Structure 1
Amino acid sequence: MTSQQWGRVDEDGTVYVKTPDGERAVGQYPEGTPDEALKFFTERYAALAFEVELLEKRIQSGVMAPEEAAASVRTVQTQVAEANAVGDLAALTARLEALGPVLDQQREARKAERAQRSAESRASKERIVAEAEKLAEGSDWRNGANRLRELLDEWKALPRIDRSSDDALWRRFSTARTAYTRRRKAHFAEQHEKRDAARAVKERLAAEAEELATSTEWGPTAGRYRDLMRQWKAAGPAPRDVDDALWKRFRGAQDQFFGARDAAAAEQDQEFAANAEVKERLLVEAEALLPVTDIEAAKRAFRDIAERWDAAGKVPRERMKELEGRIRKVEQEIRGVEEEQWRRSDPEKSARADDMVSKLEAAIAKVEADLEKARSAGNEKKVRELEENLASRQLFLETAKRASADYSG
């Protein structure tokens, strides 16, 4: 009989493995020597031990799901229990059993990870729903639709949470998207109607603008064009391609009219250039009247200049403001001197000024008399009051006397 620590071979070639429960026959190897028989069955054990080691590494690395790993452990345990091999089968069984706590830890870790992912997914879905509901209440029709599509993609990428919560959140999300889509469609339908109405208005405005393009009634027609422009702006946008074409027609008609008007005005300006030279000479005469020393002579001279000014006729538009401003300045200077003279000679105002002087003088005389009495009586408080009153009235009297002197002069 040939034997070693974990097995033996008897005389008939039967190979036994030693286990804690006793020996167990694992097979026969009649064709070889006992040593070869033991070697054959120990190699089987080595292969089985390698499989156990490989399973340990895969489980400890976490590449296998706990349930998948548990099934593999059970399979290998069966293989070890029934193995036709020679070796420390009990040690292999113990190693496989030691994987049980590892798998329990991994299950708990997986469970915690799932719980965390579920919580994160719930938070993300609640955020998506809240944003979708906010978008559904807004009117950002361009960016809102794009953002809702992005939110839908985000939703699809997230893991499911518990069914009831997931379904409830999805219903809110779906309802928000539906509400937004309906409002968006209604908005664009309304915009389409408005654009069609604007098209009709602008077609009419463009046609009228083209009819006015050849008018030579410069003032009324320019005013009508301003009215048409206000109506154009108030009409709102038509469909883009139509709007551009109608604006081209409308603007082209405007340009034609105002171009003709500007050309006519330029032609008139050339005719009016000589009138401007006449008015420049009249301005030299008018400005020589200033400063006014004799109001009546200045008024007579200015009336003559004004008559010749009107007779000179129109001037170029760019000279109108300058020339009219200079003649009006002379007129205002003469009128100002005349008004000042009248103000000084106004009998009613002069009488009021003299009356004020008389009243103040009488009041001052009374205060002076009262002051003498207070001084004689030694009433210092009354004296101070009357002195302040007297000073104030004397100041008013000086002012009134100056005014009276102005009118008298």
Structure 2
Amino acid sequence: MSSDPWGRVDETGTVYVRTADGEQVVGSWQAGSPEEALAYFERKYEGLVVEIGLLEKRVQTTDLSAKDATAAIDHLREQVDAHHAVGDLDALRARLDKLVRTVEARREERKAQRARQTDEARHAKEALVAEAEDLAQSDQWRAAGERLRALVDTWKGLPRLDRKSDDELWHRFSHARSAFSKRRKAHFAQLDAQREEARRTKERLVAEAEELSSSTDWGPTAARYRELMAEWKAAGRAQREHEDDLWNRFRGAQDVFFAARSSVFAERDAEQAENLKLKEELAEEAEKILPVTDLKAARAAFRSVNERWEAIGHVPRDARPKVEGRMHAVERAIQEAEEAEWRRTNPEARARAEGLTGQLQAAVDKLRKQIDQARAQGNNAKADKLEKELEGRQALLDQALKGLQEFGG
């Protein structure tokens, strides 16, 4: 009989293995010596050790699924429980039990990870839905459309949720995209209608502009072109394939008219520049009339200058205020001399001025006496009040005296 610490072979060739539950029959060996029998079953044990070691490594270092790992553990456990090997089978069972716990822990870890991923995916999809619903109300058609397409790609990259939740979120997401597409389609349909209306309006404006291009009624035609331009801008844009052609025709018609007008105006400007030179000479002649010393001679001289002035045509518009202002200044100076002469020679006006001055002087004298009396009686409040009134009357008197001086006395 032969034996080792974990097994033995009896005289009949039966091989046993020692376990915590006692000896278990491994098998019968008739092909050789007992030592060979033990060596054979010990090799089978070593094979199990190697297989368990490999499975432990796969569980620790690869993404072997819990299902596949459990199936492998069960397969090895069947071999260990069959007792067809000689060695520490209890130790192998302990390693398999530990491996079961490891697999279960990894199963729970992966379950928790999947739960986290699902929760993250739910929040991500809810955020996508919220953004899509906001974009559904946007009028930034290009940017919002591009962003919605990007959101679809993002959605496709996220894990699925449970069917009910995923379907509900997708329904909201899809509805938001559909609502945006419907609004965008309606907008561009309206835009197309507006552009067609703009095309018809601009064709009418072009026809009128081309008809006016040969007009020589410069002022009204230029004004009408300004109105046509305002109507053009208010009409909005036509379709791209029509807009440029219509604008070129419209602008071309205006260019023909304004080029013709510019040619005429250039001749007119030359004439007006010569007129300005003549009027400046007359203004200089008129200014020599001042100061007025002989009213009659001044009037006659200004009349002569003015008659020649009126015979001269228009001057450039920007120069007109200055040169006409010089003539008006001379005319006002003569008018003021006439008014001063009239005041000096008008007895009624002098009498009225003298009467007003006398009345004001009497009022001032009276107020001064009243103030003196009030001071003498110790009534300072009344005196102060009367002094304020005196100030007003004195100012009127000073003004009246100044006016009286204009009458020469």
Distance change in 2, residues 1:328/1:19 (3 Å): same
Secondary structure of 1:8 counterpart: strand
The separation in 2 between residues aligned to 1:350 and 1:22, in whole angstroms, is 158
What runs of 5+ residues in structure 1 fail to find an aligned partner? none
1:239 corresponds to: 239
- The one-letter amino acid paired with 1:305 is V
Q: Bigger shift: 306-315 or 199-208?
A: 306-315
User: CA-to-partner distance for each residue in 1:336-356, whole Å, 9 max, x for gaps?
Assistant: 435655776667997786666
User: CA-to-partner distance for each residue in 1:108-160, whole Å, 9 max, x for gaps?
Assistant: 33333233222222222222222212222222222121111111222222223
2:134 corresponds to: 134
Q: Bigger shift: 254-263 or 21-30?
A: 21-30
Offset of residue 188 of structure 1? 0.7
The separation in 1 between residues aligned to 2:50 and 2:250, in whole angstroms, is 92
- The one-letter amino acid paired with 1:51 is E
Task: Please tell me whether residue 8 in structure 1 is matched to residue 5 in structure 2.
Answer: no
> Percent of pairs identical after alignment?
48
2:327 corresponds to: 331
2:369 corresponds to: 369
Q: Which runs of structure 2 are paired with 1:283-302 in the superposition (5 Å)?
A: 283-289=283-289, 297-302=297-302
Task: Please tell me whether residue 159 in structure 1 is matched to residue 159 in structure 2.
Answer: yes
Task: Please tell me whether residue 311 in structure 1 is matched to residue 311 in structure 2.
Answer: yes
Secondary structure of 2:214 counterpart: coil
Offset of residue 92 of structure 1? 1.1
Aligned residue pair count: 405
Q: Bigger shift: 285-294 or 66-75?
A: 285-294
Q: Bigger shift: 185-194 or 37-46?
A: 37-46
Task: Please tell me whether residue 321 in structure 1 is matched to residue 326 in structure 2.
Answer: no
Offset of residue 19 of structure 1? 1.8
Secondary structure of 2:215 counterpart: coil
Offset of residue 389 of structure 1? 4.7
For the aligned residues, what is the CA RMSD? 3.1
1:228 corresponds to: 228
The separation in 1 between residues aligned to 2:353 and 2:102, in whole angstroms, is 119
Task: Please tell me whether residue 99 in structure 1 is matched to residue 99 in structure 2.
Answer: yes
Offset of residue 266 of structure 1? 2.2
User: CA-to-partner distance for each residue in 1:26-79, whole Å, 9 max, x for gaps?
Assistant: 345544544443333222222211222222233344723334433332232223
1:211 corresponds to: 211
Say if 1:353 and 1:403, in contact at 8 Å, map to a contact too.
Answer: yes
The separation in 2 between residues aligned to 1:340 and 1:147, in whole angstroms, is 80
Secondary structure of 2:84 counterpart: coil
Say if 2:292 and 2:337, in contact at 8 Å, map to a contact too.
Answer: no
The separation in 2 between residues aligned to 1:137 and 1:263, in whole angstroms, is 56
- The one-letter amino acid paired with 2:313 is G
- The one-letter amino acid paired with 2:253 is A
The separation in 2 between residues aligned to 1:75 and 1:356, in whole angstroms, is 139
Q: Which runs of structure 2 are paired with 1:172-187 in the superposition (5 Å)?
A: 172-187=172-187
1:74 corresponds to: 74
2:24 corresponds to: 24
Secondary structure of 1:313 counterpart: coil
User: CA-to-partner distance for each residue in 1:217-250, whole Å, 9 max, x for gaps?
Assistant: 3223222222221221121111101111111111
Say if 1:286 and 1:327, in contact at 8 Å, map to a contact too.
Answer: no
Secondary structure of 2:136 counterpart: helix
User: CA-to-partner distance for each residue in 1:318-345, whole Å, 9 max, x for gaps?
Assistant: x4422x2332111331344356557766
Say if 2:132 and 2:173, in contact at 8 Å, map to a contact too.
Answer: yes
1:52 corresponds to: 52
1:148 corresponds to: 148
- The one-letter amino acid paired with 2:192 is H
2:192 corresponds to: 192
- The one-letter amino acid paired with 1:377 is Q
Distance change in 2, residues 1:289/1:380 (3 Å): closer
The separation in 1 between residues aligned to 2:381 and 2:313, in whole angstroms, is 77
The separation in 2 between residues aligned to 1:26 and 1:339, in whole angstroms, is 149
Say if 2:206 and 2:250, in contact at 8 Å, map to a contact too.
Answer: yes
What runs of 5+ residues in structure 2 fail to find an aligned partner? none
When the two structures are superposed, what TM-score results if normalisation uses the length of structure 2?
0.85
Q: Which runs of structure 2 are paired with 1:36-47 in the superposition (5 Å)?
A: 36-47=36-47
The separation in 2 between residues aligned to 1:102 and 1:179, in whole angstroms, is 51
Q: Bigger shift: 79-88 or 382-391?
A: 382-391
The separation in 1 between residues aligned to 2:392 and 2:325, in whole angstroms, is 42
